[in-house]
Chains A and B, each alone.
Chain A
Amino acid sequence: MKNLLKVFSDYRMLIRTLVGRELKARYRGSVLGFFWSFLNPLLLLVVYTVVFGFILRPRDPTFSGSPFNYALFLFSGLLPWIWFSGCVLESTTVLLINGNILKKVMFPAEVLPIVSVTANFVNFSFGIPILIAFEIILGHPITLYILLSIIVMFIQYIFSLGISFFLASLSVNYRDLQHLMVNIVTLWFFSTPIIYPMTFGVINRHKWLKFLLYLNPLTHLVEGYQRAFYYGRMIPYKRLTVTFIVAFIFLWIGYWIFDKLRDTFVEEV
């Protein structure tokens, strides 16, 4: 774990440059360029509002029948989810894609997952002003609890990094992982209260369902965001503390495995 901190400090310049490159290269060549970072979440917001808000019409009392309220709720969970799923999916290919660098240049391999998680985080952060802007436009109340979302982001960063290290190192030896994870991510999406709130009738009626959802670390993170951005309430700090510990353990194990398998990367990618 100490080594990992050292990586962050020793290679901060490299990480920063590569994250910059990642973000720059993503929309390079397109007419709107960097503007896509804002436009993407905006268009997504429109799609989800139309489909879930107007067509499916949420009946949960939380949204008081308003499709716009639902859209804001949805968006507060969807943004961090896109960050997380981006990390998970990228992690299974990040070492393979950059195999040439690992093979031909003296390069600390752990920088690659770090760059992936960080670049996705930066991209996520571009969506937040959009969310806040819409809350203002729609007259949704904003509270100071919104600042606590930074804590949630920190925990999510640690958790994503742990998962990324774990998947990245295994994906080098087991290429099946990339295909498997595509499906797991879909399942994971529906196992996280993003399109439905935890107050949903079915969940309240069945205790075991709630228990299962609570086993998912993403549930607590997403709830944290929803409370900070949508409900304007205190984040579930007790559950998030547990999530933080779990995230930390994930990072510790993930990095340990990564370190163990490190020597195989150069040969296998």
Chain B
Amino acid sequence: MSAVVLKDVTKYYRKYTSKRKFQTLKSAILEHNLFSHLSPKEIIKAVDGVNISIDREETFGIIGENGSGKSTLLKIIAGITRPTSGKLEVNGKVSALIELGAGFHPEISGRENIYINGIMLGLTKKEIDDRLEDIIKFAELEDYIDMPVKTYSSGMYMRLGFSVAINVNPDILLVDEVLAVGDASFVGKCLEKIKEMKRAGKTIIFVTHSLDLTQKICHRVAWMKKGKVMTIGEPKEVVDRYLLDVLGKEEEREIISSMSDRWGNREAEIVESWTEDMNGKRKSHFNYGDGIRIVMKILSKKELKDFVFGVGIFNNEGINVYGSNTSLEFYKPKVLRGESLVKFEIPVLRLINGIYSVDLAVHREDGYAYDYIKGAENFKVHSLNREIGIYRPPHKWSFEGGVEIEEYKKKPSS
């Protein structure tokens, strides 16, 4: 039996026009529509026809950009909000880590709040009595538990909230990005606890922006976009597809933002640039080991005798992966006039997975810029390997002596 089954679940939200938003009782009575505004014409589909079936003991991740409907979906599963249409089946006791410590009363002590919060989350008084010690210990609040919650730091507040919620001992645990806050050591402790629940055979549903975490702990992942589920499947695969989609947008954004990062007197101007493969086909997604050509089209308004072409490649952390120019590589300029094409070719791309940006420049030998464009181009390198660093040298492993080790049959592309 599945733990959670969503059948064609849809959630509409009302979208306010400015007129609606300021509707008052008076205007409602005057216009005789005290209730009519409850059946709105303008709606937002926060969750749109979602079908997911999550098995018992499964750890299920949901990823997607902000506003894609992840959190709404989680709230529907938690029973906080009802779907507009569709069927929801939940088998087992649910505890939701959506906002930690929601419902804490600042004036009363941590201990009393544990009872109130626990009862709100569906525990009985006796169950709380039994777990009280664990809750306090896990939250590391032994010395402060009898002080009013308003004196707590935000970290203490969060710890107490997490500790109560996790001790509800649910069959299904819903986690919504709550781990993004809090100090590193406590986050580690929380993750440990979640993993422990995973081992204990609980169903865990995870909404997160941490793609890394998703791949580490989830069995399956769903990627949501604009309220719809785009893919459900094996984490690595889904994360890759999601990243590719995000990249498309980032390229647009980068190009727009790069417009301001451009300087020079434009005596020679980079009028167009692109990346292409070795066959001259323009593209911005490359696999590891492919060849890439970075091309810039230059228009020189007058005849120039002093000129240098430069290329710089940066990874998404802004680290210069490689940079060079024609002067450094001993090309002596003679003449530049009219339109010309400059091509920088890398026959074998030995960069790791990631998004790279390219600076292009044409300048005088003393460095004075005719045209310098930061982030003129972007390209992505796709590799199924998950190494770290910036450069992937050709390499191999070999083993001798008392080591027995075997390669996986299905080897990811090299």
Contacts and interface: CB of A to CB of B under 8 A. Distances in A.
A14 B119 contact: yes
Contacts of A101: 102-103, 120
B105 interface: yes
B124 interface: yes
A107 B122 CA distance: 9
Contacts of A202: none
A172 B14 CA distance: 15
B107 interface: yes
A21 interface: yes
Interface in B105-129: 105, 107-108, 112, 115-116, 119-122, 124-125
A176 B80 contact: no
A141 to B, nearest CB: 42
B105 A21 contact: yes
A28 B112 CA distance: 13
A39 interface: no
A98 B103 CA distance: 8
Interface string B353-368: 0000000000000000
Contact of B107 (A13, A14, A25): A25
A105 B108 contact: no
B124 A104 contact: no
Contact of B116 (A21, A177, A266): A21
A165 B25 CA distance: 17
Nearest to B37: A173
B56 interface: no
Contacts of B98: 104-105
A175 B13 CA distance: 20
Interface in A1-44: 13-14, 17-18, 21, 24-25, 28-29
A28 B148 contact: yes
B96 interface: yes
Interface in B55-98: 75, 78-82, 94, 96, 98
How big is the A interface, by class? 20 to 34
Interface string A101-117: 11111110000000000
Given A13-B125, A17-B116, A21-B116, A263 B82 contact: yes
B102 A100 contact: yes
A264 B37 CA distance: 11
Given A13-B125, A29-B107, A267-B81, A106 B94 contact: yes
Contact of A105 (B13, B96, B107, B148): B96
The B interface, classified by DSSP as helix, strand, loop or mixed, is mixed
Contacts of B13: 267
Nearest to B102: A104
B80 A25 contact: no
A261 B14 CA distance: 14
A174 B25 contact: yes
B99 interface: yes
Nearest to A26: B107
The A interface, classified by DSSP as helix, strand, loop or mixed, is helix
A105 B103 contact: yes
A177 B38 CA distance: 18
Given A17-B116, A101-B102, A106 B80 contact: yes
A25 B25 contact: no
A266 B120 CA distance: 16
Given A28-B107, A106-B96, A17 B115 contact: yes
Interface in A192-231: none
A259 to B, nearest CB: 12
Contacts of A21: 105, 108, 112, 116
Contacts of B96: 104-106
A21 B148 CA distance: 12
Given A17-B116, A101-B120, A106 B103 contact: no
Contacts of A51: none
A174 B24 CA distance: 6
Interface in B258-277: none
Interface string B119-152: 1111011000000000000000000000010000
Nearest to A100: B102
B80 A103 contact: yes
A96 B28 CA distance: 20
A173 B22 CA distance: 10
B26 interface: yes
A267 B15 CA distance: 11
Given A28-B107, A105-B80, A267-B13, A13 B102 contact: no
Given A21-B108, A263-B82, 6 more contacts: A24-B108, A24-B112, A100-B99, A101-B103, A104-B102, A105-B96
Interface of A: 13-14, 17-18, 21, 24-25, 28-29, 98, 100-107, 170, 173-177, 180, 261, 263-264, 266-267
26 contacts: A13-B125, A14-B119, A21-B105, A24-B112, A25-B105, A29-B107, A98-B103, A100-B99, A102-B80, A103-B80, A104-B96, A104-B98, A104-B102, A104-B103, A105-B120, A105-B121, A106-B122, A170-B25, A174-B24, A176-B26, A180-B25, A261-B38, A263-B81, A264-B38, A267-B14, A267-B81
